[in-house]
């Protein structure tokens, strides 16, 4: 009997695998979700056949209540509130895992060390997931201020709590002191709270994705607790694929994960506002891809470097791919870009960029703040903000393309070479600028490759 | 076998040193009239170097088995020819009844190159196509030269110059090449033709096709356009007028095979065009597609529009035009050349019954055996 | 035994990494939501916790289990439905 | 103790996984191979610690002999003979698995049914792998004729033997009759032989790859026999990844797997040589990719369809990608291609195809037999072989581009539309022609995408 | 127990499918050869078969095992070496 | 403030209706000489429509605070001007010492547009660049017109025409645009310049750069080329000769700021070129880069090479040339325009000490306060 249940668990696991795979592709996503829902049903139903499960009353009650709440919440929620609902659900999942671990403590007398470790992990991860998701929910729904909340020394406090959690966990495990269990649980809840409040509302989607990964791991840990394959497989799948997804989402926001998670602390400690001069930050074409993929509005600013690299065809192709991806692409041509009047026109005409996509500086500049990504292809002087804000600059007074006002700027150039007028360009040092080093054609080809991958 | 190439009153030649060499390599004796390639950058020495001889026109015509030239001969010249000799050239058979008669009377096998069938196989002998192609190219170069602005777009420190608007009317071979050339120079090109498939062809070169619903139209089975009904013409002209007025350069290429070309652009339309704009009319020879155009002249209207009525735009690129013309004739010759026996089979071909005759020969042979044999020109 | 669990865990982890390669950005949220629903698999664990004592009476563990069942069910049912709604809209937008 | 051995097995499994992944990429392939070699060493060494392994004498002898032979063979082999050596090694692997299964039969008295089934699978797969590899080796090394060897009725004989194998296996398992075990083994060997001899020498690489996959499965089955994780994981990895690789290799030869495996039979039964008129065979851009990826020489023949689709930029890009992949690419332009003289020149110049890559028909035709793939982009009349061989055709006598003489022809067109002269084109029906339907630009973009994927 | 083997098998099978995506054609042969070497993992099985009886004496099974050890070792050692040679040449050709 | 635009003896105008409107919108009174834009497709009515008035030349010059025109004024015209008035135009200051003297004497603030600094900031006022750009374009159009073949490659049924070979000597603004235009038309372009960075720029337009090792060269800090040593010139000419002889079209653009242009192509080289080929010399005005070229004329050599010595190729696209010229002047004006107070600050600027003066003004102001103030032309 139990053998067959296990086999069905294997089948369900396979369905989960296929479901997740299908959800990564727009055409099959919905089917994938359905498939994984069926897998869930299968796993649940077959569990009820298990000999260990002998009473169904409370289960029925629980499932009924949960299902009603779930259905109502899912049907009622407004489109705009979906992200916070997901956060809330996720928190429930984490809490459920926590409770499973806790229940195991209560119901089983003698725990093996594997079981104890698993229980601790379940409780810890479950708590963090639960509280973190709850905070994320509150922040997103506006019931708690969305901004980063932090205080000096927070980092040290967190480290202290983390150590305390481990300590009390070890005490519980080795000495079997019951109270230590509750202490570790409580401390994990506090840590979860402290970890998430310093993160700003804008970063919440990434945090939710990470917490989602955590809730998967919690389920996985619960699987170790009750020695159940389907929990391990499904939980672990969610844990790792969720982690990858989190990284991808970070990249799409041109952030790193640690930047998202711990950025809040540093802002809290050093409040010295506007960034004046920083360092030139490089980015790989692969990472730049994620940002472009998520962009709604892109402006391409070609310059002499595009001509040198003969990258016009590649630029056009990238433009086409972006458009096919639903992005609005405009080419903004500065009157003095290149080395002869109309240099860029010759090249872009050769690459067959439609006349309608070519824009003059004065048309594009007013809308620059709406632009998600400005791609500067081998241009330099014509996007040098010093012309606008540095009176001592020899090009002060020349109108430039205000790419620095775009949300993100990608600058494609080979190295630290200056432009025609030999000036340092402060654009390259801005917070929202990323340099993609290398010959412009090679870089564009790499970007295109990333899209087609 | 003797071949003689006659010097023309225009800048093209029917024989180039390259094609002369190919004839000579086949064992043909080639003679040319002195100065044959002078205007198309081929000096006499270039011909003699490959083994051609120089002969006076009279002498050359008298002894030749094949006379080749660009245009139709005079009646006098025909009378010098040997009976049974071949004459290969453009003949303009609709307008040269006297010459046809003379050719028939003299017993000449006269080939009219304009009657070459428009089949895939005959394309390499088709001078109408090869010359129209160059004319289309040159019409844009000439118009660009006369236009007071530039064609490409330029975003410069001194302001943005938008691309010039070019309108091509009639999308045959010449029209297509005109589209291609104007596009290359960076202009925005709109094109119109009464044939639907021609519009698709224009689009295949990146032009915008002007689609006007004209009802039933068509082309002859030879691929040439049919004449339109008056209502169709009116409707068409209205739609065109709007585009014309908006354009900087207009190229018209609508010839109708053997008839007077249709008027596509009226005086009133020209009068509304911008100063500095240019119209090149490739049909000017037959009367023109544009009212006011004067064949072989450049006129400027009161409102500053330049009308180019050059007879043959291809003559401005005489070197390449001659090369193509000569190559077409050579391919025609090769079509009947039997490599194994090194003989020319055209003479045997014309003895055959009409059904058995080669389609190409049937299409372009006008006179033979003392009579006009071509269906269209039989008296 | 525990080794097998470890091996299964390892293989599943690799699979998880391999499965998600380049997800278009529009799918980020649905994918997150959908895999969140999967993480409700902990429901299976909750069932064991709740159903292992006979009758309506309940120990401490049963109550914990019951809570877990409710919460996990919300996560599962709500999660799948919300994801499906999102993907449904997505379809419409595209076509 | 044993626990740690198992953990090391898990580590080795992970190393195998990473090793295989790295071998799929040119930059990391060598490192990947090394990693997997280390994993193997680890697995072997740790096995010797196992309590079940109590005597090392014969093991040392065996390993010594095997290692010497392996090293000498691997070092001595000429470059050209590597494929057959791999086949030989593969056969040894299969045979080894077979022997492991057999030994288990001899050493263990009472077999569980799982063990029995596993043993049978080990023996069957091992036999087929062994004999199949041996035959492949003999064919490749010329010690056996490379051509397909078959006789009528062979198919039925094979089916009969297969049934007999299963029958004797079941008899052995259920009734424990020892002789039945040897019968099933012997029959499996015969079947392996019969399955491979009808396959021609040219298809051997694919067969070896498939047998390689089989030897992985044999090892996996052996893993079930002795209940060993690392055998199961490593064997299964080889089994499935080898299968995928086999499919990929088939695609690169523009064949299907069943065509390779069972093609030999049909050739034997119907000997009606030259194909005159067949059907138009479609192919997807994805499958075409595999063929192009493996091509050394490509000729691109553009026609009016390329102009209509405005696919010149995409054509140029595909050309560039192929060149980057080490393929020699030439564009061959027929004088009457398109709808005006020089139509193709205008378009290719616009797309910036270098002058040096444009070739005339007369230059390319004599070399056409050396061309691996001719890509016909929206051309029709100019590649119609009727012009050369059908005297009744209206275009008889026109010189054409002899794409039909290329090893493979891809024709990109939207449907069954005729060309300008309205003729049926026999090229499309040839054995070596594959149609890629769809707008030429979309098709080329898909091909490019496949390359960049 | 056997269920675990099955689960491990299933997961490994999926991993195998996912791992090999688009292999450049030059790598086909080395990859085949390299994974062929891996399939020599059956050597581990052969070790059990050979080493389970004490001393130099040997049963029928030992002899089978010994043969298996020799063959599997050839496969492993030769396989890895040949693959490495192939990949070595490949490097040279490219640079 | 009053602005007057003088009609020129050539086809360009220093004011267009568009730029006139911009001045008028600033509150400037604009007057033009009748017929100002006649030759550049701008009728008088176009100016009056935007609010300009028509005045006689004499009257206009007399009352204007700013006189603008394309070329230098005559001494007589200068004498009519108000003291302290501005004169903005090309002055050719190296050749017009008398005019400079007159301007100084009259107390005029005279701006020589050719002295505009070649900085990024001044580029929008730089007429040398804007006109050279059009000249480069037009040189190719003219050469294409005269060439006896076509530029693009064509693989046709009548044989393959290889792309024409174009050689551009001197890769300044004009040379670059010539390269771009010839490339567009499908030619194979080789380019040469003594400046290494110019070669890279040519390549950025898809041309092949001819690299000759000449040793030390350079450009002035203004971006203009320095004169070469005799040995350098010899070496360079040898390498160039080979390319020239192989070319169908040659464009030379090497002017050296304020001096006679270097001879880049000798008679012997021209004599070896193919019949039907064309040389366009953009430096013809100052004597030419090509031996045998005659300023403002088209000559054909004995061996059939056409030499185009047009004075100013940009004049053939007078509409766009005028637009750019006018826009450059307008930008110059704007540079000193204070939007808030609606005043022109150039008058205050010239009162300043040299160190404090605007770089652009310092660069191009020749006379002020009764004296020649520009370093280069101070007596
Ligand atoms: N338009 C005209 O008529 C004209 C005429 C003469 C001068 N100018 C002057 O030229 C300038 C034009 O500005 P711009 O922004 O177009 O160009 P720019 O300021 O000269 O900058 C070009 C940039 O491209 C980069 N680059 C060069 N080759 C590259 C390659 N292969 N791949 C990627 N990047 C490459 C260079 O940086 P790396 O070296 O680090 O790669 C350089 O910073 C203005 O100052 C203008 O005044 C214009
Ligand atoms: N060169 C000249 O001067 C000239 C002038 C006039 C006529 N011609 C004639 O034109 C012919 C030229 O031969 P060709 O081989 O170039 O062209 P073709 O024989 O006309 O064939 C063109 C092919 O392209 C396909 N096609 C059309 N649009 C397409 C798209 N968007 N994507 C993919 N395929 C597309 C069509 O098939 P589907 O409809 O199935 O897609 C058609 O079979 C010759 O017969 C020649 O004599 C030439
Ligand atoms: N079979 C071949 O190989 C071959 C060779 C050359 C040309 N052709 C075809 O023959 C056809 C004619 O070519 P052509 O250059 O000799 O044409 P043409 O000189 O006879 O006419 C030029 C064009 O003007 C158009 N036209 C006629 N009246 C018009 C009107 N009132 N308004 C607008 N347009 C009008 C015609 O449709 C034609 O496209 C083309 O389709 C061409 O592709 C085929
Ligand atoms: N800063 C700016 O914004 C700006 C504006 C316009 C031009 N420029 C630069 O100024 C430079 C000069 O431009 P220009 O068009 O006025 O040049 P120009 O008319 O002075 O000379 C034309 C070209 O001829 C070359 N030349 C001179 N002698 C030669 C010889 N013996 N052989 C071959 N070539 C010779 C010069 O190097 C120059 O490139 C260019 O680099 C241009 O990019 C800069």
Q: Do D224 and E1 contact (CB within 8 A), yes or no?
A: no
Q: Which residues between 365 and 394 in chain D have a beta carbon less than 8 angstroms from any beta carbon of chain B?
A: 381, 394
> Do D255 and D337 reside in the same domain of the chain?
no
For D14, phi then psi, to 5°, come to -60, -40
By mean pLDDT, which of D241-245, F280-284, F320-324 is the weakest?
D241-245
Nearest alpha-carbon partner for A427 in A396, A368, A369, A387: A387
> Do D88 and D230 reside in the same domain of the chain?
yes
The total number of structural domains in chain E stands at 1
Count CB neighbours of D78 within 10 A: 7
Residue A362 annotated as catalytic: no
Q: Is residue C31 part of a domain?
A: yes
Cα–Cα distance measured from residue B71 to residue A292, given in angstroms and rounded to the nearest whole number: 63
Residue A78 makes CB contacts below 8 A (sequence gap 6+) with none
Question: In this predicted structure, what is the pLDDT of residue F345?
Answer: 87
Domain residue limits at D81? 77-266
Half-sphere exposure of F238 (CA within 13 A, CB side): 8
Q: Dihedral through CA F228, CA F229, CA F232, CA F237, nearest 10?
A: 70
Q: Is residue C42 part of a domain?
A: yes
* Interior angle at CA D215, CA D210 and CA D219, nearest 5: 145
At residue D311, the 3 state secondary structure works out as coil
Q: What is the mean pLDDT of residues F79-92?
A: 94
Greater confidence (A116 vs F165) lies with F165
CA distances from A416 to A301, A396, A425, B30 (A): 18, 21, 10, 68
- What are the structural domains of chain F? 2-126+318-370 (3.40.50.720), 132-316 (3.40.50.720)
Half-sphere exposure of A424 (CA within 13 A, CB side): 8
F81: which DSSP letter? S
Q: Is residue A48 part of a domain?
A: no
Question: What does the mean pLDDT of chain B come to?
Answer: 91
> Do A229 and A350 reside in the same domain of the chain?
no
Q: Report the residue among F123, F133, F171, F173 best suited for mutation to probe ligand 4: largest number of ligand atoms under 8 A from its CB.
A: F173
Q: What is the pLDDT of residues D322-351, one digit of tens each?
A: 998 889 999 999 988 998 888 999 999 888
Q: What is the pLDDT of residues E15-43, one digit of tens each?
A: 888 888 777 888 888 888 999 999 999 99
Say which of A27, A203, A372, A381 is annotated catalytic: A381
- Count how many residues are written for chain D: 453
Read off the CATH number of the domain in which D377 is found: 3.40.50.1220
Residues in chain A with CB shorter than 8 Å from the CB of C75 are 70, 89-90, 92-93, 96
Q: Is residue C53 part of a domain?
A: yes
Q: Does A287 touch chain F (CB under 8 A)?
A: no
Query: For helices C42-51 and A82-107, what crossing angle results, to 10°?
Result: 40
For F309, phi then psi, to 5°, come to -115, 30
Q: What is the DSSP string of D187-201?
A: HHHHHHHHHHTTS-G
> Do A223 and A311 reside in the same domain of the chain?
no
Query: For helices F173-184 and A343-350, what crossing angle results, to 10°?
Result: 10
**Bridge partners, residue F159, by sequence:** F156
Q: Is residue C68 part of a domain?
A: yes
Global pTM value: 0.84
Using CB atoms within 10 Å of the CB of residue A181, give its burial: 0 to 12 exposed, 13 to 18 middle, 19+ buried.
buried
Cα–Cα distance measured from residue B308 to residue B283, given in angstroms and rounded to the nearest whole number: 10
Q: Do F156 and F241 contact (CB within 8 A), yes or no?
A: no
Q: Do A364 and A332 contact (CB within 8 A), yes or no?
A: yes
Residue D271 makes CB contacts below 8 A (sequence gap 6+) with none
What does the radius of gyration of chain C's CA atoms come to, in whole angstroms?
18
Host H or E run for residue D332: strand D328-333
Q: What is the pLDDT of residues D265-318, one digit of tens each?
A: 554 433 333 334 567 888 889 889 989 988 999 999 999 999 999 999 999 989
For B249, phi then psi, to 5°, come to -135, 135
Q: Does F121 touch chain A (CB under 8 A)?
A: yes
> Do A221 and A308 reside in the same domain of the chain?
no
Q: Do D68 and E76 contact (CB within 8 A), yes or no?
A: no
Question: In this predicted structure, what is the pLDDT of residue D48?
Answer: 87
How distant is the alpha carbon of residue A388 from its chain centre?
A: 35
How distant is the alpha carbon of residue B325 from its chain centre?
A: 10
Q: What is the pLDDT of residues D405-425, one digit of tens each?
A: 999 999 999 988 888 888 889
Half-sphere exposure of D240 (CA within 13 A, CB side): 21
Question: In this predicted structure, what is the pLDDT of residue A277?
Answer: 54
Residue C58 pLDDT > 70: no
Question: In this predicted structure, what is the pLDDT of residue A272?
Answer: 36
Q: Is residue C35 part of a domain?
A: yes
Q: Which residues between 19 and 78 in chain C have a beta carbon less than 8 angstroms from any beta carbon of chain A?
A: 19-56, 58-62, 64-78
For residue B237, give how far its alpha carbon lies from the nearest alpha carbon of chain D (Å): 26
Q: Does D344 touch chain F (CB under 8 A)?
A: yes
Q: Dihedral through CA A299, CA A303, CA A308, CA A314, nearest 10?
A: 10
Using CB atoms within 10 Å of the CB of residue D206, give its burial: 0 to 12 exposed, 13 to 18 middle, 19+ buried.
buried
Residue D89 makes CB contacts below 8 A (sequence gap 6+) with D70, D73, E33, E36, E37, E40, E74, E75, E78, E79, E82
Residue D1 pLDDT > 50: no
Q: Is residue A231 part of a domain?
A: yes
- Closest ligand 1 atom number to CA of residue F129: 3
Greater confidence (B295 vs D54) lies with B295
At residue B222, the 3 state secondary structure works out as coil
Nearest alpha-carbon partner for A264 in A138, A169, A151: A151
Q: Is residue A92 part of a domain?
A: yes
Q: What is the mean pLDDT of residues D49-78?
A: 86
Host H or E run for residue F372: strand F371-372
By mean pLDDT, which of A267-271, B292-296, D37-41, D205-209 is the weakest?
A267-271
Whose structure tokens read 């996560």?
C75
Of A266, A299, A330, the position where a domain reaches its end is A266
Q: Is residue A22 part of a domain?
A: no
Count CB neighbours of A152 within 10 A: 10
Q: Where does the pLDDT of residue C93 fall: very low under 50, low under 70, confident under 90, or very high at 90 and above?
A: very low
Per-residue pLDDT of chain B in tens (379 residues, 90 and over written 9): 899 999 999 999 999 999 999 999 999 999 999 999 999 999 999 999 999 999 999 999 999 999 999 999 999 999 999 999 999 999 999 989 999 999 999 999 999 999 999 888 899 999 999 999 999 999 999 999 999 999 999 999 998 999 999 999 999 999 999 999 999 999 999 999 988 889 999 999 999 999 887 666 666 556 555 667 788 878 877 888 999 999 999 999 998 777 889 899 999 999 999 999 999 999 998 889 999 999 999 999 999 999 999 989 999 999 999 999 999 999 999 999 988 888 898 888 888 877 778 889 989 999 998 899 998 888 7
Q: What is the pLDDT of residues D421-453, one digit of tens each?
A: 888 899 998 888 999 999 999 999 889 888 876
Query: For helices D312-324 and D343-350, what crossing angle results, to 10°?
Result: 60
Question: What does the mean pLDDT of chain D come to?
Answer: 87
Question: In this predicted structure, what is the pLDDT of residue A268?
Answer: 40
Two tokens, residue A312 = 């016009």
Residues in chain D with CB shorter than 8 Å from the CB of A352 are 313, 350
Host H or E run for residue B298: strand B298-300
Q: What is the mean pLDDT of residues C53-70?
A: 78
> Do A438 and A382 reside in the same domain of the chain?
yes
Residues in chain D with CB shorter than 8 Å from the CB of B201 are 307, 339-340
Q: What is the pLDDT of residues D2-25, one digit of tens each?
A: 778 888 998 999 999 999 989 888
Q: What is the pLDDT of residues E38-86, one digit of tens each?
A: 999 999 988 888 877 665 666 777 888 889 999 999 999 999 999 998 8
Question: What does the mean pLDDT of chain F come to?
Answer: 91
For residue D422, give how far its alpha carbon lies from the nearest alpha carbon of chain B (Å): 11
Q: Is residue E34 part of a domain?
A: yes
What b/e readout covers E3-30, taking b as 16+ CB neighbours within 10 angstroms? bbbbbbbbbbbbbbebbbebbebbbbbb
Query: For residue D441, how far is its CA from the centre of ligand 3 (angstroms)?
Result: 27
At residue D378, the 3 state secondary structure works out as coil
> Do D316 and D448 reside in the same domain of the chain?
yes
Which residue among A53, A75, A230 places its CB closest to the CB of C52? Answer: A53
Q: Do F41 and F347 contact (CB within 8 A), yes or no?
A: no
For C54, phi then psi, to 5°, come to -70, 155
Residues of chain A where predicted confidence (pLDDT) is lower than 50: 1, 267-276
Q: Is residue A33 part of a domain?
A: no
Cα–Cα distance measured from residue D133 to residue D89, given in angstroms and rounded to the nearest whole number: 8
* Interior angle at CA F16, CA F10 and CA F19, nearest 5: 140
Q: What is the DSSP string of A216-251?
A: HHHHHHHHHHHT-HHHHHHHHHHHHHHHHHHHHHHH
Residues in chain C with CB shorter than 8 Å from the CB of D13 are 7, 10-11
Cα–Cα distance measured from residue C30 to residue C93, given in angstroms and rounded to the nearest whole number: 14
* Nearest Cα residue in chain F from B273: F41
Q: Is residue C12 part of a domain?
A: no
Cα–Cα distance measured from residue D425 to residue D417, given in angstroms and rounded to the nearest whole number: 10
At residue D429, the 3 state secondary structure works out as helix
The total number of structural domains in chain D stands at 2
Q: Is residue C17 part of a domain?
A: no
At residue F159, the 3 state secondary structure works out as strand
Residue F252 pLDDT > 70: yes
> Do D170 and D300 reside in the same domain of the chain?
no
Q: Is residue D158 part of a domain?
A: yes
Of A206, A233, A266, the position where a domain reaches its end is A266
Cα–Cα distance measured from residue A287 to residue A323, given in angstroms and rounded to the nearest whole number: 19
Residue F118 annotated as catalytic: yes
Domain residue limits at C69? 27-88
Percent of chain D past pLDDT 70, that is, above it, reads: 96
Cα–Cα distance measured from residue A448 to residue A288, given in angstroms and rounded to the nearest whole number: 11
Whose structure tokens read 């695609």?
D251
> Do A119 and A167 reside in the same domain of the chain?
yes
Q: Do F100 and F287 contact (CB within 8 A), yes or no?
A: no
Q: Is residue D333 part of a domain?
A: yes
For D108, phi then psi, to 5°, come to -105, 130
For residue A63, give how far its alpha carbon lies from the nearest alpha carbon of chain D (Å): 38
Cα–Cα distance measured from residue C43 to residue C45, given in angstroms and rounded to the nearest whole number: 5
Two tokens, residue D317 = 């890009």
B244: which DSSP letter? H
For residue A426, give how far its alpha carbon lies from the nearest alpha carbon of chain C (Å): 31
> Do A228 and A136 reside in the same domain of the chain?
yes
Q: Do B163 and F333 contact (CB within 8 A), yes or no?
A: no
Host H or E run for residue D76: helix D57-76
Atom 34 of ligand 2 has which residue's CA nearest to it? D413
Using CB atoms within 10 Å of the CB of residue B238, give its burial: 0 to 12 exposed, 13 to 18 middle, 19+ buried.
exposed
Question: In this predicted structure, what is the pLDDT of residue D131?
Answer: 93
Counting as contact any 3 or more CB pairs under 8 A, the partners of C are A, D, E
Are A66 and C77 inside 8 Å of each other by CB? yes
Question: In this predicted structure, what is the pLDDT of residue D269?
Answer: 39
> Do D321 and D438 reside in the same domain of the chain?
yes
Question: In this predicted structure, what is the pLDDT of residue E94?
Answer: 45
Q: Do D48 and D59 contact (CB within 8 A), yes or no?
A: yes
Host H or E run for residue A8: helix A2-23
Of D204, D233, D266, the position where a domain reaches its end is D266
> Do D251 and D293 reside in the same domain of the chain?
no
Catalytically active residues of D are 381
Query: For helices D257-269 and D154-175, what crossing angle results, to 10°?
Result: 120
Greater confidence (A110 vs D189) lies with D189
Q: Is residue A117 part of a domain?
A: yes
């Amino acid at each position: 009997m139990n053998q067959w249940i296990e086999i069905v668990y294997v089948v369900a696991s396979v369905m989960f695998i296929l479901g997740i795979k299908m959800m990564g592709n727009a055409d099959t996503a919905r089917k994938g979700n359905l498939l994984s829902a069926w897998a869930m049903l299968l796993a649940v139903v077959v569990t009820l056949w298990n000999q260990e499960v002998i009473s169904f009353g409370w289960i029925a009650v629980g499932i009924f209540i949960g299902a009603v709440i779930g259905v109502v919440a899912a049907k009622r929620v407004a489109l705009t509130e979906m992200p916070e609902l997901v956060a809330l659900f996720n928190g429930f999942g984490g809490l459920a895992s926590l409770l499973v671990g806790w229940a195991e403590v209560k119901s089983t007398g003698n725990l093996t060390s594997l079981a104890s470790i698993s229980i601790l992990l379940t409780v810890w991860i479950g708590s963090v997931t639960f509280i973190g998701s709850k905070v994320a929910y509150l922040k997103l729904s506006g019931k708690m201020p969305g901004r980063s909340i932090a205080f000096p020394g927070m980092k040290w406090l967190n480290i202290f709590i983390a150590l305390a959690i481990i300590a009390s966990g070890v005490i519980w495990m080795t000495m079997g002191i019951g109270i230590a269990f509750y202490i570790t649980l409580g401390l994990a809840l506090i840590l979860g709270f402290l970890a998430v409040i310093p993160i700003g509302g804008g970063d919440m989607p990434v945090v939710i994705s990470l917490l989602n990964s955590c809730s998967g791991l919690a389920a996985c840990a619960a699987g170790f607790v009750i020695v159940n394959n389907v929990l391990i497989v499904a939980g672990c799948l969610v844990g790792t694929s969720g982690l990858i997804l989190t990284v991808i989402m970070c990249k799409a926001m041109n952030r790193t994960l640690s930047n998202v998670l711990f950025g809040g602390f540093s802002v809290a400690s050093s409040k010295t506002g506007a960034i004046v001069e920083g360092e030139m930050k490089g980015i790989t074409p692969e990472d730049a891809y994620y940002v472009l993929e998520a962009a709604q509005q892109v402006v391409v600013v070609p310059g002499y470097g595009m001509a040198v690299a003969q990258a016009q065809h590649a630029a056009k192709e990238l433009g086409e791919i972006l458009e096919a991806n639903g992005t609005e692409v405009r080419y903004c041509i500065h009157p003095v870009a290149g080395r002869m009047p109309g240099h860029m026109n010759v090249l872009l005409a050769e690459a067959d960029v439609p006349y309608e996509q070519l824009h003059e500086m004065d048309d594009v500049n007013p809308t620059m703040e709406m632009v998600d990504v400005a791609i500067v292809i081998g241009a330099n002087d014509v996007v040098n903000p010093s012309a606008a804000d540095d009176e001592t600059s020899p090009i002060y007074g020349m109108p430039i393309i205000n790419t620095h006002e775009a949300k993100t700027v990608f600058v494609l150039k080979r190295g630290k070479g200056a432009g025609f007028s030999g000036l340092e360009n402060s654009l390259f040092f801005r917070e929202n600028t990323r340099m993609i080093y290398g010959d412009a054609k090679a870089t564009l080809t790499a970007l295109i490759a990333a899209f087609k991958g | 076998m003797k071949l003689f190439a006659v010097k023309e009153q225009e800048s093209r030649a029917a024989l180039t040193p390259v094609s002369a060499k190919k004839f000579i390599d086949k064992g043909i004796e080639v003679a040319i009239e002195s100065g044959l390639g002078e205007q198309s950058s081929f000096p006499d020495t270039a011909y003699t170097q490959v083994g051609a001889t120089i002969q006076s026109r009279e002498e050359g015509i008298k002894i030749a088995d094949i006379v080749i030239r660009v245009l139709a001969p005079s009646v006098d010249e025909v009378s010098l020819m040997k009976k049974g000799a071949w004459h290969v050239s453009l003949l303009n058979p609709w307008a040269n009844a006297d010459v046809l008669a003379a050719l028939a009377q003299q017993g000449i096998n006269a080939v009219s190159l304009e009657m070459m069938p428009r089949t895939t196989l005959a394309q390499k002998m088709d001078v109408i196509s090869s010359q129209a192609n160059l004319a289309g190219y040159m019409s844009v170069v000439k118009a660009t030269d006369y236009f007071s602005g530039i064609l490409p777009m330029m975003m410069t420190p001194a302001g943005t110059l938008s691309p010039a608007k070019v309108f091509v009317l009639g999308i045959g071979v010449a029209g297509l090449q005109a589209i291609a050339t104007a596009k290359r120079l960076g202009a925005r090109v709109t094109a119109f033709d009464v044939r639907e498939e021609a519009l698709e062809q224009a689009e295949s070169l990146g032009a915008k096709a002007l689609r006007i619903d004209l009802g039933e139209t068509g082309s002859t089975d030879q691929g040439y356009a049919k004449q339109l009904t008056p209502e169709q013409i009116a409707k068409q002209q209205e739609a065109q007028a709007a585009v014309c007025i908006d354009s900087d350069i207009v190229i018209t290429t609508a010839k109708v095979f053997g008839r007077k070309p249709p008027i596509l652009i009226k005086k009133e339309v020209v009068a509304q065009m911008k100063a500095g704009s240019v119209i090149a009319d490739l049909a000017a020879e037959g009367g023109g597609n544009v009212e006011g155009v004067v064949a072989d002249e450049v006129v400027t209207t009161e409102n500053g529009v330049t009308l180019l009525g050059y007879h043959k735009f291809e003559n401005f690129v005489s070197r390449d035009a001659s090369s193509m013309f000569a190559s077409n004739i050579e391919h025609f010759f090769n079509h009947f050349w039997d490599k194994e026996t090194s003989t020319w089979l055209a003479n045997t071909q014309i003895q055959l019954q009409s059904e058995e005759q080669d389609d190409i020969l049937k299409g372009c042979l006008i006179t033979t055996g003392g009579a006009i044999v071509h269906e269209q020109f039989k008296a | 035994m525990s080794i097998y669990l470890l091996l299964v865990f390892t293989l599943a982890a690799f699979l998880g990494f391999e499965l998600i390669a380049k997800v278009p950005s529009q799918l980020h949220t649905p994918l997150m939501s959908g895999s969140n629903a999967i993480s409700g698999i902990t429901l299976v664990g909750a069932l064991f916790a709740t159903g292992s004592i006979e009758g309506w009476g309940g120990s401490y563990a049963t109550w914990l289990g019951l809570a877990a069942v409710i919460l996990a069910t919300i996560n599962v049912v709500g999660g799948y439905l919300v994801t499906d709604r999102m993907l449904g809209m997505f379809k419409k937008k595209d076509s």
